[in-house]
Amino acid sequence: MELEEGYKNTEVGVIPEDWKVKSLGNLGDVRMCKRIFSYQTKDSGDIPFYKIGTFGKEPDAYISKEIYCEFRKKYSFPRIGSVLISAAGTIGKTIVYNGEDSYFQDSNIVWIENNNQVIPNEYLKHVFSIVKFRTEGGTIQRLYNNILKNGLFPLPPTLTEQKAIAQVLSDTDALIQALEKKIAKKKLLRKGVVQKLLEHKEVWETQDFESLCKTFTKQTGFDYSTHIKPNLLNSYQRGTIPFIQNKDFEGFWFNFETDYYIPEKVADKFPMILLDEWCLLISISGKIGNVGIFQNAKKSFIGGAIAIAKFKNPRLLNWVMIYLQSEEGQAKLFNNVKAGSHQNLILDDIRKIIVPIPRQEEQKLIADTLSDIDREIDQLERKSAKYKMVKQGMMQQLLTGKIRLVKPNSKVKEEDLAMVAEPHANYNYQAYGK
């Protein structure tokens, strides 16, 4: 294919002629903190110690201030703004060190000791999303130092252009984070509303969960291994229906473009676990406690980590889902968790859960109140998902030079992203190139 004028073919794809292909090793050495041994950590303490499992999350281990001060002074330690990257677990996850007192697990969490006059940290943060790592086997199990240092990426020739790109992407990140905060606030509001409503439950009737159901069951291991698993397909084919797993539902949301599909004629042999009418789903293994209502939108079939409840009175489905999603309902579910290699819920324990039942008119009022909040949350989540897709497109365009920026005229605003139909739209920035 003929290249456009001003572009060249390289190991990392087509880039502008004045851009260079660099390796992360060109930027500086790979650094890591001094090793911390388990006997040096505590469950609580002065300085958070982030291991690979808690990287970017809440810490579950701490070290003393004495060790922290000594090791920070004697050994490698990130500068403010350094981009930390996970070299194990979820490989390539990054966070920016903001200067807070904290310590990081050696070899699993590393950083490049880059020169900010060659490539600024704010640009390097985004580079990690497009670096091409080369390995003999193809699949990277761990980012060893040599793999990390040999990672290739395209680099604009000037700091001005790098900073312009970084600002566009950082502004977009800020908009997405603002949306995520709004979503969290709305969810907290919803939780508070449900708790307030449950203050009146003493005057409501109660029923155990089993008495609400005409059937309450799950897949059996025998059925799965003998009849279901051998017939699962990795893509949709005519005559197949979606195979719903834990990750494919929450509340009223369902994902029907699933990882697996099952022939409808096979699924029809198991009517009790067939999704062909309004029913309640509860995840009982792995990600336990997730609750959703199947609304008969598309005939489907459940996976093995899900329990399915078909109610005698389908009008109660909405309320029971609301209750089981509440703090009180979740506590009742989690009180029955059985320990093992995975967390599991036993159906007999769920059957015994006592559910308070409001009068019909109260149920409607509760559902109407919460549906307004749920609608707002859904709109925000859709917007957030759209903006994340826009950002992915922007990254592919900007970080490879398909669209080039001289310098930003203004910060990216939400209305800019809302109007984006294509990733290469002019986000109020001066562009040149393609």
What does the pLDDT average to over 351-367?
A: 90
Pairing relationship of beta strands 300-302 and 240-244 according to DSSP bridges: parallel
Over 90: is that where the pLDDT of 141 sits?
no
320: three-class secondary structure by DSSP: helix
Our CA angle for 316, 319, 323, nearest 5°, is 135
15 — pLDDT class (breaks 50, 70, 90): very high
Over 70: is that where the pLDDT of 410 sits?
no
Give how far Cα 315 sits from Cα of 300, 329, 355, 364, 375, Å.
21, 19, 15, 10, 20
419 — pLDDT class (breaks 50, 70, 90): low
428 — pLDDT class (breaks 50, 70, 90): very low
Instruction: Give me the pLDDT at residue 406, please.
Output: 61
Over 50: is that where the pLDDT of 434 sits?
no
Instruction: Give me the pLDDT at residue 195, please.
Output: 87
Q: Exposed, middle or buried by CB within 10 Å (0-12, 13-18, 19+), for 249?
A: buried
Instruction: Give me the pLDDT at residue 136, please.
Output: 54
Alpha helices in 198-303 (DSSP H): 209-212, 221-223, 264-267
Cβ neighbours around 123 below 10 Å, total: 24
29 — pLDDT class (breaks 50, 70, 90): very high
**Domains of the chain and any CATH numbers:** 22-155 (3.90.220.20), 157-200+360-434 (1.10.287.1120), 205-357 (3.90.220.20)
- Contact 55/88 with Cβ under 8 angstroms? no
135 — pLDDT class (breaks 50, 70, 90): low
Give how far Cα 26 sits from Cα of 112, 150, 152, 213, 288, Å.
10, 9, 10, 64, 46
Residue 422, C-beta contacts closer than 8 angstroms, at least 6 positions apart: 393
Over 70: is that where the pLDDT of 408 sits?
no
The percentage of residues in the chain with a pLDDT greater than 70, rounded to a whole number, is 91
- Contact 129/150 with Cβ under 8 angstroms? no
Question: In Å, how far from its chain's centre is CA 284?
Answer: 20
What is the pLDDT of the chain when averaged over all its residues?
A: 89
* Residue-by-residue DSSP string for 234-256: SS--TTEEEEE-GGGEEBTEE--
- Copy the structure tokens of residue 138: 């193809």
The percentage of residues in the chain with a pLDDT greater than 90, rounded to a whole number, is 70
Over 60: is that where the pLDDT of 1 sits?
no
What does the pLDDT average to over 120-132?
A: 92
Residue 303, C-beta contacts closer than 8 angstroms, at least 6 positions apart: 219, 243, 244, 245, 246
Q: Which helix (H) or strand (E) is 381 found in, with range? A: helix 360-398
What does the pLDDT average to over 243-268?
A: 94
Over 70: is that where the pLDDT of 407 sits?
no
409 — pLDDT class (breaks 50, 70, 90): low
Instruction: Give me the pLDDT at residue 416, please.
Output: 64
Residue 278, C-beta contacts closer than 8 angstroms, at least 6 positions apart: 293, 294, 295, 296, 311, 314, 317
Reported as a single tens digit per residue, the pLDDT across 203-245 is 899 999 999 999 999 999 999 999 999 999 999 999 999 999 9
Most distant pair of Cα atoms in the chain: their distance: 77
Reported as a single tens digit per residue, the pLDDT across 62-95 is 999 999 999 999 999 999 999 999 998 888 899 9
pTM tops 0.85: no
- Copy the structure tokens of residue 180: 């995520």
295 — pLDDT class (breaks 50, 70, 90): very high
Q: Exposed, middle or buried by CB within 10 Å (0-12, 13-18, 19+), for 281?
A: buried
Instruction: Say which residue the tokens 């229906």 belong to.
Output: 241
Alpha helices in 155-243 (DSSP H): 159-197, 209-212, 221-223
The one-letter amino acid code at 382 reads R
Over 70: is that where the pLDDT of 340 sits?
no
